[in-house]
A and B are shown apart, each in its own frame.
Chain A
Amino acid sequence: MIRKILFYSPLSIIVLLGILFYYSLNSETKSNSPLIGKEIPEFSIERLLNDNDQFTSKDLTSSENINFINVWASWCIPCRAEHNVLELLSKIDNVDLYGINHKDTKKNATNFINTLGNPFREIGFDSDGRTSIEWGVFGVPETFIVHRGKIIYKHIGPIHISELEDTIIPIIKDLN
């Protein structure tokens, strides 16, 4: 019996290690951003629809409302699909939706907003993608929930209506 256990032990150790490494590899996914729980990164960028002053991190810390920051681009097809959900999100009480327009042209971005509607309170124009790197953005669209200056949650990819109902709205209720 002991001989049998000894005989199979290397194989079982390897299988166990395989399982452990598999879970460890998947534990650090992209949505586990190191920024969650931290203060928002400082930034200052042009506004897309208003040339007068800059859209800055201070805009996101000045209100008690729950801030959503959506990183989008007019050339991003999933962003178009997500736009209706963002319109719904922007109508929720105590929610302010901001946009960061990622590596776009002003003309195309403005056309996008004029055609599909503007759910954003303010839009920053991040033409060189630098602010997106500050936010640890991998690609568009991505959405961050910010409350009292801290990043609470990060969503990678377009928000589907089911995700709005099952994940995002419960977070809003919790924060309220």
Chain B
Amino acid sequence: MKSSQYIFHILIAYSLLLSSVYALNVDQEERANNLFKETRCLVCEGQNIYESNSDSAEDMKKLISEMIIDGNSDNEIKSFLVSRYGDWIIMTPPINQSTYFLWFSPIIILLIGIVFILRKFKKNG
């Protein structure tokens, strides 16, 4: 066998091996990538696992891919991660009782500011 043929066979075998690890179709891959972007890296907190090559991020990517293959929905996967690591693991804080203030305080402050400015204009006008 020629050496180029040999290398070609090795490359085919390697790609088959990789695809058997993450056997995701196009849709599943897109879902996986979105979930990777929403999941915080355990050891590099400012980053999501999509951007991280750390060992723990790779483990988490593998887990998420396998959960997708097993037929879990995005919400089921996120719920699993939150049940193990808390809301912290999701890059965007969820809207719930403990985060109402975080989400809505900027709007309230903006409204207060508008009221202040309007009153000032009225006075000056």
Contact = CB atoms under 8 A, between A and B. Distances in A.
Interface size class of A (residues with CB under 8 A): 20 to 34
Nearest to B89: A136
Interface residues of B, number: 22
A130 B87 CA distance: 20
Contacts of A134: 84
A139 B56 contact: yes
B82 A34 contact: yes
Q: Is the interface of A mostly helix, strand, loop or mixed?
A: loop
Interface in A117-148: 128-130, 133-136, 138-139
B102 interface: yes
Given A21-B102, A33-B85, A138-B42, 8 more contacts: A13-B112, A30-B88, A34-B84, A34-B85, A133-B63, A133-B84, A138-B43, A138-B56
Interface of B: 42-43, 55-56, 59-60, 62-63, 82-88, 101-102, 105, 109, 112-113, 116
30 contacts: A10-B113, A10-B116, A13-B109, A13-B112, A17-B105, A20-B101, A24-B102, A28-B86, A28-B87, A28-B88, A32-B86, A34-B82, A34-B83, A35-B83, A35-B84, A41-B84, A129-B56, A129-B59, A130-B59, A130-B63, A133-B59, A133-B63, A135-B84, A136-B84, A138-B42, A138-B56, A138-B85, A139-B42, A139-B43, A139-B56
